[in-house]
Amino acid sequence: MCLLKVTGLTKTFKNKKDRVYALKGIDFSIKQGECLGLVGESGCGKSTAAEIIARLIKEDSGTIEFNGAYITSEKRLKCVGRDLQMVFQNPKDSFDPKYSLLESVMMGADSYRIYSKIELIKRAKELIKYVGLKESYMYKGIGGLSGGECQKASIARALICSPKLIIFDEATSALDVSVQAQIIDIMRRLKEEKGVSFLFITHDLALTSSICDNIAVMYSGRIVEYGKCRDVLCNPKHPYTKQLVSSVLPVNRRCDIPEFNALRDTQYAPKGCDYYAFCPNADEKCFKNVLHMFQIEGRSVLCCHADD
Q: Answer left, alpha or beta for residue 176, where phi above 0 means left and psi between -120 and 50 means alpha.
A: beta
Which residue, 157 or 299, has its beta carbon nearer to another protein? 157
Q: Interface with another protein includes 96 (CB under 8 A)?
A: yes
Q: Binding residue for another protein (CB under 8 A) from 8, 20, 93, 126? A: 93
Closer to another protein by Cβ: residue 55 or 299: 55
Stretches 91-99, 209-217, 271-279, 285-293: which one binds another protein (CB under 8 A)? 91-99
Cβ closer to another protein: 109 or 282? Answer: 109
Binders of another protein in range 140-169 (CB under 8 A):
140-141, 154, 157
Smallest Cα–Cα separation from 225: which of 240, 210, 211, 243?
240
DSSP label at residue 283: -
Residue 110 touches another protein, criterion: CB under 8 A: yes
Part in contact with another protein (CB under 8 A); list of ranges 93-101, 118-126, 177-185, 266-274: 93-101
Structural contact between residues 33 and 191, judged by C-beta atoms closer than 8 angstroms? yes
Strand order in the sheet with 214-219: 84-87, 165-169, 197-202, 35-40, 214-219, 222-228, 299-303, 292-296
Q: Is 81 in the site for another protein (CB under 8 A)?
A: yes
**Does 10 participate in binding another protein (rule CB under 8 A)?**
no
Closest CA to 40 of 178, 254, 204: 204
Number of amino acids touching another protein (CB under 8 A): 34
Least Å distance, CB 81 to another protein, is: 4
Region near another protein per CB under 8 A, out of 33-41, 52-60, 198-206, 225-233: 52-60
Comparing CB distances to another protein, the nearer of 86 and 196 is: 86
> Whole-angstrom Cα distance, residue 172 to residue 78?
26
How many CB atoms within 10 Å of residue 138? 17
Kindly tell me which of 164 and 238 has the beta carbon lying closer to another protein: 164
Stretch that binds another protein, among 4-12, 71-79, 117-125, 285-293 (CB under 8 A): 71-79
- CB of residue 90 to another protein, shortest distance in Å: 5
* Angstrom distances, CA of residue 295 to CA of 39, 218, 222: 19, 17, 16
> Counting every residue, how long is the chain?
308
Instruction: CB nearer to another protein: give 154 or 202.
Output: 154
Torsion of CA 164, 170, 172, 173, to 10 degrees: 180
- Closer Cβ to another protein, 140 or 264, answer by number: 140
Q: With binding defined as CB under 8 A, does residue 54 bind another protein?
A: yes
Q: Cα dist. 242→2, 39, 237 in Å?
A: 29, 13, 7
Helices (H), the chain: 46-53, 101-110, 117-130, 147-159, 177-189, 205-211, 229-234, 239-246, 285-288
Least distance in Å: CB of 78 to another protein?
Answer: 4
Query: How many angstroms separate the CA atoms of 105 and 28, rounded?
Result: 31
Q: Which stretch binds another protein (CB under 8 A): 15-23, 137-145, 171-179, 257-265?
A: 137-145
63 binds another protein (CB under 8 A): no
* Backbone φ and ψ of 234, nearest 5°: -85, -30
Residue 158 or 223 with smaller CB distance to another protein: 158
Q: Which residues bind another protein (CB under 8 A)?
A: 51, 54-56, 76-78, 81-82, 84-86, 88-90, 93-100, 107-112, 139-141, 154, 157
